[in-house]
Amino acid sequence: MTLERRMVDLLPSVDAELNYLMPMAGRPRNYATEPPPGEPRSNARHEAHKVRIRDARPIFSQVSLDDNGFACIEHRSALSRFEDEEKIRSVYYPETEELLKRATGADRVFIFDHTLRRRIPGFEDRQQGPRQPALRVHIDHTAKSGPQRVRDLLPAEADGLLKGRVQVINFWRPVHHPVYDAPLAVCDAKTVATADLVPSDLVYRHRVGETYAVMYNPTHRWFYLSEMAPDEALLIKCCDSATDRARFTPHTAFLHPAAPADAPPRESIEIRALVFHRQGWDG
């Protein structure tokens, strides 16, 4: 749905800091693994901007992937614990695949990875312990890297699949308990200008991916789900080959200023999936 300003302004909200890319001369670069000796893990710098983040709970069933770039659903997983990697792949992957098909009307879903995160205050992501919530505004794929993932992962079928509509969608949910301290914020994609998105290198050992870093723009409208529970999930559109609807959705974790001091630290799982629509396929 188109979110009218009057409707948005009436939603409960919290003011919090989000970390946006600072202007820079060169191309942003981040290492997903240990950088070469003498190289920083990232050449990008970020600056905090205080923004209003609305609680989407009153409009839970009204936001949509195509209009806003994100959607909210209720779903109780067959898994109650997420420590067993094999069960995640054998139980949670097929479960999520069917949910994504129903939510998008897709003909095929290909899940290509997942990430478990557990917040430990003071720990740095990719350097210490478990993966930490990502506290910078970003989008996982770009207009270039979305199709490239199809070529990388499904090379024999890529030419045919890329003739149809292709999306990259993240499926995010809390695990084990509700989220209080570091919820996920998503930006209404219709409020994001192309100039806000900065292609950035994500360097792995054997390939270089591309993500979008995001520049601050006061027109951005941010949302989250207060005290989001494990039987709720967010769908986040990272890339869409269709150009007449929401295509790229910035998102980030943020530190909730009213989180109880004794709240359990955030734990979550995110699935990344290629989502294909049959129109345009060769066969």
Give all strands (DSSP E) within the chain, no chain letters: 13-21, 29-31, 46-55, 70-74, 108-118, 138-139, 166-174, 184-187, 197-203, 208-214, 222-224, 232-240, 251-253, 267-276
Query: 38-73 pLDDT, tens per residue?
Result: 999 999 999 999 999 999 999 998 999 999 999 999
DSSP code of 99? H
Return d(Cα 5, Cα 164) in angstroms, integer. Answer: 34
Give me the amino acid identity at 181. Answer: D
Return d(Cα 281, Cα 283) in angstroms, integer. Answer: 6
Tokens 């066969």 found at: 283
- The yes-or-no verdict on residue 168 having pLDDT over 90 is yes
For the chain, the average pLDDT equals: 93
Domain ranges of the chain: 49-276
- The yes-or-no verdict on residue 283 having pLDDT over 80 is no
Q: How far is CA 32 from CA 21, 36, 125, 267, in A?
A: 18, 12, 10, 21
CB 103 within 8 A of CB 97: no
What's CA 59's distance to the chain center, in Å? 19
Query: Could you tell me which CATH number the domain at 49-276 has?
Result: 2.60.120
DSSP code of 127? T
- The yes-or-no verdict on residue 158 having pLDDT over 70 is yes
* Neighbour tally for 27: CB within 10 Å: 13
Return d(Cα 54, Cα 221) in angstroms, integer. Answer: 8
CB 117 within 8 A of CB 131: yes
Mean pLDDT of all residues in 98-116: 96
Residue 5 has a pLDDT of: 73
Residue 273 has a pLDDT of: 98
